[in-house]
Amino acid sequence: MYNGPKCLGLTPDSGNDEIIKTAFDFVFGIGYMSFASTAADGKTPTCRGLEVHRLDDCGNMYIGASHGKHFYDEMEKNPRICGVAIDTVAVRISARVRKVCDGKIRARYWELNRGTEKMYRKDLSNFQVYVLERGDGEVFHVYEDDAIARVRFSFGGDAARPWTYTVNSNCTGCGVCAANCMMNVIGIEEGRAVMDHYGCNECGICYESCSCKAVDKNEFVCC
Ligand code: SF4
Ligand code: SF4
């Protein structure tokens, strides 16, 4: 049984469904996220806070914005966002969004946002609801006892983001990375370095200290 630090009760053994539910419940509890997108020029990062809602029985996350917002234009051009909610624990979600026209979902949105409904009363159709259709995310906790607790998840058919640092077949088991690891999460097993990614700070010291090029730095490729 895992006895190390926990992140919202999650452990390295937690399954994807459990992590998604825990992560989304945490964000719903806060009620909003800071969401980044790419400006219509295709280069400039932009960011804003948006309310998040659960509007169906499947646990999906929904957001909304009016047609006049730059956010709307950005989603027309590149419907990808990245959000973070922080309250001791941090939850990051990267997702592709889809416009929602379903009347029931929109009615539920207004039910939960009477103030917004009042604001848009002259033209409710001006307001666009989106669902975070697919993507990946992470739950991360760093504050307690200098220990890291990190789990990743995916939803809607996407894959979870790969760990940034992994050991490849060049490893000789010399132990230099283990001695230098700031979090003491590298062990040598059967002549090869093994990382515990749940506790890894992704500092890259192992990558920099390995003279055998046996630690890969993996890039995240967006799909
Ligand atoms: S990853 Fe590099 S530094 Fe670490 S044990 Fe293997 S060869 Fe040594
Ligand atoms: S990235 Fe840093 S914390 Fe993670 S295994 Fe390497 S040295 Fe340790």
54 touches 21 (CB < 8 A): no
SS3 (DSSP) at 146: helix
Is 75's C-beta closer than 6 angstroms to any atom of ligand 1?
Answer: no
Ranking 52-66, 137-151, 156-170, 191-205 by mean pLDDT, the lowest is 137-151
Output 96-104 pairs: Cβ under 8 A, ≥24 positions apart: 96/132, 96/133, 96/134, 96/135, 96/156, 96/158, 97/63, 97/130, 97/131, 97/132, 97/133, 98/130, 98/131, 98/133, 99/75, 99/128, 99/129, 99/130, 100/62, 100/129, 100/130, 100/131
Residue closest by Cα to atom 8 of ligand 2 = 181
Output the furthest CA–CA distance in the chain (Å, rounded): 70
Is 147's C-beta closer than 6 angstroms to any atom of ligand 1?
Answer: no
Using 50, 70 and 90 to split pLDDT, how confident is the model at 79? very high
CATH topology identical between 16-155 and 165-217: no
* CATH class of this structure's domain 16-155: mainly beta
Phi, psi of 47 (to 5 degrees): -150, 145
Q: What percent of the chain has pLDDT over 90?
A: 89
For residue 213, which atom of ligand 1 is closest to its CA? 2
For residue 215, which atom of ligand 2 is closest to its CA? 6
- Specify the CATH architecture of the domain 165-217: 2-Layer Sandwich (3.30)
The 10 Å Cβ neighbour count of residue 122 is 6
Q: Whose atoms come closest to the Cα of 206: which ligand?
A: 2
- Residues at CB less than 6 angstroms from ligand 2: 165, 181-183, 185-186, 195, 200-206
Condensed to tens digits (0 to 9), the pLDDT of residues 110-159 reads 999 999 999 999 999 999 999 999 999 999 987 656 788 999 999 999 99
The reported pTM is: 0.91
Domain ranges of the chain: 16-155, 165-217
Using 50, 70 and 90 to split pLDDT, how confident is the model at 171? very high
